[in-house]
Every structure is written in C-alpha cells, then in structure tokens.
C-alpha cells in the first residue's frame, strides 16, 4: 500500500462535474498537483466529486477493475451467506471464492477493494487539507464547511466499511501520515469514524446541492448503523480469535443502543425520507426518483454513457437469461432454499427477490413499463426445487432502450436506506426493553410489501417468532437480501457458524452446492484477511487469525 498511498496523497486525480448536473457524473479532469489546483470554490467541488468517484470507479490511478461498489465490493459483501449459493460450475469463475468462502489473503479482489477504499480516504484527506487554506470568501454561504463535512462523512464511511470487513485497520486522517501505520484497535477506529460522522450530522443540510450527495441524514443514518453494530458486536459474544485489537469488549451496549434510538428518532421525524411506495423501485435501473425518497447513500450509476459511471450486477444478482436481448444475467449466484423459506406468498418481496429466470425468448415474457422504460418480467417460479430459481433483486431495462453496453447498468446500489434504519431502530428498542415498539416497526416495514389481496396482519402472523431476536434476523434478510449487510449482520449477531451449518443440501434447486461453503467455512472468516500484498508493503500490518 505504501506506493499507492504516496501516489494518492501527493498527486490526487481529481474529477470534474457539470455545475448544473442533477446527479454526480464525473469525468477525468486532471492530474494537477494539489498546490497548483485549489484556487477557486469550483476546484474544491471538483476534488469532492473525486472522492465520491472512488465508490464506483472502474480503476483508480490505473489500478483495479471495478473493485469498489461498481462490482467487486458489492459481490464480496453480498455473497457467502445463508442467502445465496454458488453453483459448482461457476465456483472457479471471477469472484467465486467469495460465494464459497474459499478466499485467501492473496486474492487480488481483496487487495483492490482495500486499495479503493483507502484511495477514497486519501482523496478526502487531500481535499480537507487544501480546503483549510482556501479563503472563506471564495465560497457562497456555508458551502465551505459543507464541503468539509461531505468529505468527512465519506472518509468515515470508507473507514467504517474497511473496519467492518477487516476489523482493526490503519486510520489515515492526513496526507503526511506514515504509509506504514499499524492496525489500530477497533475502539480507536470507531472513535475517529464517529467523530467524522458527527461533524457531518452537525454541519450538513437536509439535502445536498446535487442528488446523490451525502447530507445531514446520511451521517445520522451511518451513526445509527455504527451504534447498533458496536452494541451487537459486544453483546452477542463474537470472539476476537486471540487478536485483541479486534475485541469489542470496551463497548457500552446500553449507551450505544440508546444513541441509536436518539439519532434514529431524529432521522425518522425530521429527515423527510420515507419508505418509497413500491419496493422494486429501489432496485431498478431507471427509478432514481423513487430511490431518492428512501435512500440516503448509494453507489451511483449514470445513464449518460459518456461518463462511464456504471455498476455491474449481470453475473450474480439479476434473473438468469440472455443479457443482450432481455437484460438478464449469468446466474453465478442463486438463492438458497433457506431464503426461499423465509417468505410468505403474500409478500411482494418474495417474488421480487427470489424469482424465476428470464431465459432467452422475449416473446414469452411479460413486460412491465415504468415511466416509459421496458423491463422484461421473470417467469413464475414453480417452487424451491425449480432450476429456474434466480436472484431477482436487481432489474435491468430492455437492452434495446439502452445507449450503453447490455452488461452495464445505470443502477444506483442502495448502501443505506430508511428500511434498514427502521429495522435498526427495532433492534435498539428490543434490546432496551421495548419489544412491542420493535414489533410495530417490523409491521411498518412489511406494510408496503403486502399483496393487495392480503393484509399486513397475515404477514405478521406468518413471520411471528416467540424470540423476537430471531424474527428480526429473518426480517433483515427478507428486506435487505443481496444488499451489502447480511455478511456483516451474521458477524455482529454471532450467527455465521449457525447459519452456514444449517444450510440444507437437500432443499432448494441449487442447495446441493452448499457443501462448498460448508467445507470452506471457519469461524475466523467473519473477517476478511489483510491482503498479503499490503503486508508485503507494510511490515507493521498484522494478519487476521486463521489466514
């Protein structure tokens, strides 16, 4: 990492964005050294877009290949759980090791993901240091402090993702930091992350100057996420596996859950975010206005092909079929029988998330038109043992209406949304003694997804568990499957071993393949390995246990 850190800190690749653009749509601007660049307010805005761009960049400083949330980070976090299974004939393809828990410290995807996240941190640090020296009168109103706050929220988010994936990590807050910093204990890591996010919560507006920029409520939502994470990492007994920097024994569980309650109450009452009416509009390529009602942070794709800002779900997370003709995918990941069994037939999320395939003949498929855009509809799924069973979470438009490659998508991946916040608040209520209030929130989340012929009471009865904690874990999967949180949820609730061991190879069309992950799984794999390439560059980095 030493070489890359120096490049990123001393010669940041900044990006330009049209001042009148509705969405962040970055294009390469320059490789100008910082001391010659930060002359106008627009220069600072351009550098800020450069921080955002690392989330969905194709490469950074010539390194990586869709290694952030454009593709690889999404796959690393959404695979290898009780929700999806990797068919054996796809296990050796790119990224297959994350679906089978066969990843190692030498995997280039892990190294590139580490690098991309630290690249965003490096760009944020460069911007923050140069912004401090820019005259206040260059900026309109409070825009200077808002740029600072946006950069700190992004830096906090990227440090957060690194820590949730690797545990103890080096923290970089300055371009002059030693590239060979050691891993800091998670207590120090989260102190810095919380500081960055609190600054954003206190100084950002309710909405940013452009769609898809972070705002006050993005920071608030991430704080809710962190406080629930910290409380659960302590209270459910996840081992540090003998590496004390990964220990969460220091966390005050009650205080953390109470912080989550306080901030989530503010967010729900005052943010203006709502559960968008149609669940599926959160995951379609062209429904960004519906996403904006609920999503506080996303990895943006652009409908403008000149921007080359795309996301890639074609291999794993859309219904299987002919990509160039129907907008279908490869089927490298399939739903488990366990995910199928979580749903009731009266729940719209069932047929959306666990669908039939699209196949190759558009003439036999129904078409849904959304705001003038055509989407082929998957075939009905006869049952859990049908080979048609596909991950249906994300949906691509009819390729005939695209102005870019069929494999690419303008879809914006939701990274943080109100549905998640409501479930996190339910968790905090339950663990502070208010089970009744927690159940009300689960009902609220389900209400938008109940089919017109049924009622939310039917879903509540079908999903009821005497142990609310178990019901909550199930509901988080029903609502958030194949987003980026199941792996992290299973780790923080100390449920990974139980869920992997319980996978039934005899139930579900593709569950015969679960033996691959059951054979590879070890408890320590709740943490990814520190990339061996980074250990070679920085001898102060300790490896996680088990690798």
279 and 150 housed in the same domain: yes
Strand partners, 355: 390
Q: CA-CA distance, 482 to 92, in Å (whole number)?
A: 21
Confirm whether 175 is domain-assigned: yes
Contact 166, 530 (CB under 8 A): yes
Q: Is the pLDDT of residue 257 over 90?
A: yes
384 and 461, same domain (yes or no): no
Report whether 80 contacts 100 (CB < 8 A): yes
Residue 297 has a pLDDT of 98
Q: Which of 473, 401, 505, 522 is nearest to 101 (CA)?
A: 522
Residue 16 above 60 pLDDT? no
Q: What is the CATH classification number for the domain harbouring 542?
A: 1.25.40.390
| Largest separation between any pair of C-alpha atoms in the chain | 68
**pLDDT average, residue stretch 458-470:** 99
pTM above 0.85, yes or no: yes
Residues 490 and 430 in one domain: yes
pLDDT of residue 45 exceeding 80, the answer is: yes
Using pLDDT thresholds of 50, 70 and 90, give the confidence band for residue 9.
Answer: very low
Residue 326 is assigned to a structural domain of this protein = yes
Categorize the per-residue pLDDT at 32 as very low, low, confident or very high, splitting at 50, 70 and 90.
low
Mean pLDDT (whole number) for 251-280? 99
Q: What is the share, in percent, of the chain residues with pLDDT greater than 70?
A: 93
Predicted confidence band of residue 539 (pLDDT cuts 50, 70, 90) = very high
pLDDT of residue 33: 64
- Nearest CA-CA partner of 386 in 411, 410, 363, 354: 354
Question: What is the chain's mean pLDDT, rounded?
Answer: 93
Residues 382 and 462 in one domain: no
Q: Which of 10-14, 215-219, 376-380, 467-471 is predicted least confidently?
A: 10-14
Inside any domain, residue 152 = yes
For residue 87, is it within any domain?
no
Whether 41 shows a pLDDT value over 90: the answer reads yes
Q: Do 140 and 283 lie in a common domain? A: yes
- Whether residues 289 and 315 fall in one domain: no
| Tally of domains in the chain | 2
Among 402, 422, 451, identify where a domain stops. 402
Listing DSSP states for 471-530 in one string gives HHHHHHHHHHTTSS-HHHHHHHTT-HHHHHHT--TTSSTTGGGHHHHHHH--GGGGSPPP
Give pLDDT tens digits for 94-110: 999 999 999 999 999 99
Residue 329: inside a domain:
yes
pLDDT at 31: 52
Same domain, 290 and 315: no
Residue pair 56/310 in contact (Cβ under 8 Å)? The answer is yes
- Quick one: pLDDT at residue 310? 87
Nearest to 492 by CA among 293, 231, 306, 297: 231
The predicted pLDDT at position 6 comes to 40
Same domain, 393 and 422: no
Q: For residue range 285-318, what is the model confidence (pLDDT) as tens digits?
A: 999 999 999 999 999 987 676 666 789 999 999 9
Residue 50 predicted with pLDDT over 60: yes
Among 378, 402, 426, the domain boundary falls at 402
Domain boundary among 354, 377, 402: 402
Percent of the chain residues past pLDDT 90, beyond the cut: 88
Residues contacting residue 252 through CB under 8 Å, at least 6 positions apart: none
Is the pLDDT at 13 greater than 70? The verdict is: no
Question: What's the average model confidence in pLDDT over 248-262?
Answer: 99
Q: How confident is the model at residue 24 (pLDDT cuts 50, 70, 90)?
A: very low
* Rounded CA separation 139/272 (Å): 27
Which tops the pLDDT comparison, 34 or 103?
A: 103
Is residue 441 assigned to a domain?
yes
Domain assignment of residue 145, given as a range = 1-81+108-305+403-502+525-547
**139 and 1 in a common domain:** yes
**Mean pLDDT in residue range 199-228:** 97
Q: Based on the domain organization, do 18 and 126 belong to the same domain?
A: yes
* pLDDT confidence of residue 30: 44
DSSP line for 429-460: HHHTT-HHHHHHHHHHHHHTTB-TTS-HHHHH
Please, is 25 exposed, middle or buried when counting C-beta atoms within 10 Å of its C-beta (0-12, 13-18, 19+)?
buried
pLDDT of residue 88: 87
Q: Do 392 and 417 fall within a single domain?
A: no
């Amino acid at each position: 990492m030493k070489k890359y850190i120096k490049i990123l800190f001393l010669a940041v690749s900044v990006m330009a964005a049209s001042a009148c653009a509705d969405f962040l749509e970055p294009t390469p601007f320059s490789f100008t050294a910082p001391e010659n660049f930060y002359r106008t307010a627009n220069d600072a805005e351009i550098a800020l877009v450069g921080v955002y761009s690392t989330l969905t960049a194709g490469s950074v400083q010539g390194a990586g290949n869709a290694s952030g949330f454009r593709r690889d980070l999404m796959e690393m976090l959404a695979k290898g759980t009780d929700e999806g299974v990797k068919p054996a004939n796809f296990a050796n393809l790119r990224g297959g090791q994350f679906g089978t828990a066969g990843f190692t410290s030498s995997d280039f995807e892990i190294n590139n993901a580490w690098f991309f996240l630290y690249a965003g941190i490096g760009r944020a640090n460069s911007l923050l240091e140069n912004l401090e020296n820019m005259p206040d009168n260059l900026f309109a109103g409070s825009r200077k402090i808002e740029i600072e706050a946006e950069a700190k929220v992004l830096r906090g988010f990227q440090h957060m993702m690194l820590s949730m994936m690797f545990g103890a990590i080096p923290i970089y807050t300055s371009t002059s930091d030693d590239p060979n910093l050691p891993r800091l204990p998670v207590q120090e890591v989260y102190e810095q992350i919380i500081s960055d996010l609190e600054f954003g919560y206190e100084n950002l507006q309710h909405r940013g100057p452009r769609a898809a920029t972070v705002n006050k409520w993005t920071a608030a939502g991430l704080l809710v996420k962190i406080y629930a994470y910290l409380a659960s990492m302590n209270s459910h007994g996840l081992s540090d596996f003998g590496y004390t920097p990964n220990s969460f024994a220091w966390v005050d569980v009650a205080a953390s859950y109470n912080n989550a309650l306080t901030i989530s109450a503010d967010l729900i009452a005052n943010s203006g975010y709502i559960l968008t009416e149609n669940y599926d509009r959160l995951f379609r390529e062209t429904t960004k206005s519906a996403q904006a009602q609920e999503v506080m942070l996303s990895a943006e794709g652009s409908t403008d092909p000149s921007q080359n800002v795309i996301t890639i779900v074609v291999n794993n997370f859309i219904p299987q079929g002919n990509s160039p003709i129907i907008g279908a995918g490869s089927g490298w990941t399939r739903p488990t029988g366990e995910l199928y069994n979580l749903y009731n037939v009266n729940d719209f999320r069932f047929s959306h998330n666990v669908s039939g395939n699209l196949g190759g003949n558009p003439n036999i498929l129904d078409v849904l038109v959304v705001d003038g855009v055509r989407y082929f509809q998957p075939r009905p799924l006869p049952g859990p043992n049908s080979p048609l069973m596909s991950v249906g979470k994300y949906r691509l438009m009819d390729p005939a209406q695209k102005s870019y490659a069929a494999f690419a998508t303008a879809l914006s991946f939701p990274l943080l949304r109100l549905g998640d916040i409501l479930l996190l608040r339910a968790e905090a209520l339950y663990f502070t003694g208010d089970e009744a209030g927690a159940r009300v929130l689960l009902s609220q989340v389900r209400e938008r997804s109940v089919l017109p012929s049924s009622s939310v009471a039917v879903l509540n009865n079908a999903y009821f568990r005497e142990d609310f904690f178990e019901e909550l874990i199930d509901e988080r999967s029903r609502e958030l499957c194949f987003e980026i949180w199941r792996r992290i949820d299973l780790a923080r609730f100390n449920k990974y071993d139980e869920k992997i061991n319980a996978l039934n190879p005899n139930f579900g069309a593709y569950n015969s393949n679960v033996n691959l992950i059951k054979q590879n799984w070890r408890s320590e794999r709740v943490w990814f390995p520190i990339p061996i390439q980074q250990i070679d560059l920085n001898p102060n980095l300790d490896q996680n246990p088990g690798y």
